[in-house]
Amino acid sequence: MNSQDFDFVSQLLRKRAGIVLGADKMYLLESRLAPLARKEGLPSIDDLIQVVRSRRDERLITQLVDVMTTNETFFFRDKTPFEHLKEAVLPVLAQARKGQRIRIWCAACSTGQEPYSIAMMIDQQPALTGGVPVEIVATDISERCLERGRQGLFTQFEVQRGLPIQMLMHHFTQQDDHWRVSERIRSMVTFRKMNLMDPSYTLGKFDVIFCRNVLIYFDGPTKTEVMNRLAQSMNPGAFLMLGAAETVIGLTQAFEGAQDRRGLYKLSSKAVKAA
Amino acid sequence: MKRCLIVDDSRVVRKVARRIVEDLRFEADEAADGAQALEFCRKTMPDCILLDWNMPVMNGIDFLRALRREPGGERPTVVFCTTENDMSHIAEAMRSGANEYIMKPFDSEIIESKFNEVGLC
């Protein structure tokens, strides 16, 4: 791939999905675009890029963005955020919401392991929310991932990463070589296609937003833009959960750290006033 | 250093599993069937056992039941690691005193994840 093609694709990814692709990621681009070129019946990546450049085919551009997004996820990933949710977030919200439903948003949910982990946790411990109904909205830019999430069908490998065996027994049934999460848990999660870069999205206000390991792919200004937009989608007293390697420091004043819990932030009083 | 007994009739599986548990900072021992494993446990009770189901002489489930009746046999954390991947086998293993369950094929990520689940690492 020549440098002009690389620049074209990296600008496209930045514009469409906020993904910053350094020149050292040429190998990543090539390894992910080669299967797409084959699927499209094109002899090489160069031809694929040529077609994208000349035709501006939306379907192909969407697929290109899709294959370039990282969909790494697993059940109860990193554990700590789920402990925060259980110990410091849900009990506080249950009391504050006074019977009104708690809304949780998993932004960039990939194939659904994160929202289903939350749903299973709440289902098994209803006392956490004091009987307050919970709505979980899961969004992602990739329709392919969302479709898998909606199906709730996971491979044997996927159900063995982070999921305790007791939870597998309780919430899943076997379907040939796969495992399907129960209808009860699936009904707790709504999947919707959404691009965090799109300024016009409207999902209403949330009490908790999980946005983990997403911002790491964005540059500074995009991080700030996305975080400020997340803040606008939060109720007063709402919580934001970031990935272990992510922070709001130096990027926005819309959030403040919560109770010395790493990765957990509250909407700042400044942001509440501004709203 | 914690000790992990790997019980599997396949030498290859034992070798792969040994490498993984040693990377997780366990001292590894091996047994080729349930009877050998029981004999080992009677001398030295390990901290955890990675246990195959189908083996000659004594299978994994019979070993587990016998182990849990031994003095101190309630102590080791037992993680099944088997090709038996249906719900009835999983349920039987858990009823018989297993702490976790791995469906083969496995890799280092799965073993680490399962060991994490039961507080081994």
| B118: in domain | no
Q: Which residues pair with A191 in a beta bridge?
A: A138
> Do residues A235 and A205 make contact, with C-beta atoms less than 8 angstroms apart?
yes
Angle between helices A143-151 and A58-68 (to 10 degrees): 70
Q: Which of A68, A92, A123 is the last residue of a domain?
A: A68
Best mutation site among A78, A160, A167 for testing chain B: the one with the most B CBs within 10 Å?
Answer: A160
Q: Please give the order of strands across the beta sheet that includes A153-155.
A: A153-155, A178-181, A172-175
The number of distinct structural domains making up chain B is 1
Residue A14 structure tokens: 């930045």
Question: Above 90 in pLDDT, residue A202?
Answer: no
| B104: in domain | yes
Question: Above 80 in pLDDT, residue A275?
Answer: no
| B102: in domain | yes
- pLDDT for B111 equals 97
Note whether B103 contacts A162, CB cutoff 8 Å: no
Option in A156, A161, A169 nearest B91 (CB): A169
ipTM (interface predicted TM): 0.95
Out of A26-30, A161-165, A202-206, pick the least confident: A26-30
Option in B85, B91, B113 nearest A161 (CB): B113
- Tell me which amino acid residue B111 is: I
Mean pLDDT of B103-121: 95
**Whole-number Å distance between alpha carbons of A143 and B53:** 40
Identify whether residues A127 and A226 lie together within a single domain.
Answer: yes
The number of distinct structural domains making up chain A is 2
Task: Write the CATH number for A87.
Answer: 3.40.50.150
Best mutation site among A80, A165, A178, A180 for testing chain B: the one with the most B CBs within 10 Å?
Answer: A165
| B119: in domain | no
Question: Which structural domain range is residue A203 located in?
Answer: 80-274
Q: Which residues of A touch B101 (CB under 8 A)?
A: 165
Give yes or no for A174 touching B (CB within 8 A).
Answer: yes
Note whether A165 contacts B110, CB cutoff 8 Å: no
Q: State the residue for tokens 């083996």.
A: B55
- pLDDT for A201 equals 81
Identify whether residues A8 and A135 lie together within a single domain.
Answer: no
Mean pLDDT of A51-76: 90
> What would the pLDDT profile of B47-56 be if each residue is shown by its tens digit?
999 999 999 9
| A75: in domain | no
Across A76-99, b (16+ Cβ under 10 Å) vs e yields bbbeebbebbeebbbebbbeebee
Which of A268, A230, A224, A270 lies closest to A247 in space, CA to CA?
A224
Note whether B106 contacts A160, CB cutoff 8 Å: yes
Cα A26 to chain centroid, rounded: 24
Q: Residue A176: CB partners within 8 Å, gap ≥ 6? A: none
- pLDDT for A69 equals 87
Mean pLDDT of A134-154: 96
> What would the pLDDT profile of A104-114 be if each residue is shown by its tens digit?
999 999 999 99
Question: Above 90 in pLDDT, residue B5?
Answer: yes
Identify whether residues A62 and A87 lie together within a single domain.
Answer: no
Note whether B101 contacts A165, CB cutoff 8 Å: yes
Q: Which residues of B touch A169 (CB under 8 A)?
A: 87, 90-91, 94
Q: Which of A19, A35, A68 is the last residue of a domain?
A: A68
**Whole-number Å distance between alpha carbons of A73 and A214:** 11
Identify whether residues A107 and A222 lie together within a single domain.
Answer: yes
**Whole-number Å distance between alpha carbons of A252 and A216:** 15
Identify whether residues A155 and A22 lie together within a single domain.
Answer: no
DSSP per-residue letters across B80-114: EEES--SHHHHHHHHHTT-SEEEESS--HHHHHHH
Q: Which residues pair with A208 in a beta bridge?
A: A104, A239
> Do residues A140 and A105 make contact, with C-beta atoms less than 8 angstroms apart?
no
Question: Above 90 in pLDDT, residue A190?
Answer: yes
Which of B117, B68, B109 lies closest to B101 in space, CA to CA?
B117
Question: Which structural domain range is residue B102 located in?
Answer: 2-111
By a Cβ cutoff of 8 Å, what residues of chain B touch chain A? 85-87, 90-91, 94, 100-103, 106, 109-110, 113-114, 116-117
| B80: in domain | yes
Task: Write the CATH number for B86.
Answer: 3.40.50.2300
Identify whether residues A172 and A231 lie together within a single domain.
Answer: yes
Task: Write the CATH number for A33.
Answer: 1.10.155.10
Give yes or no for A133 touching B (CB within 8 A).
Answer: no
Option in B86, B91, B110 nearest A160 (CB): B110
Cα B84 to chain centroid, rounded: 14
Note whether A165 contacts B94, CB cutoff 8 Å: yes
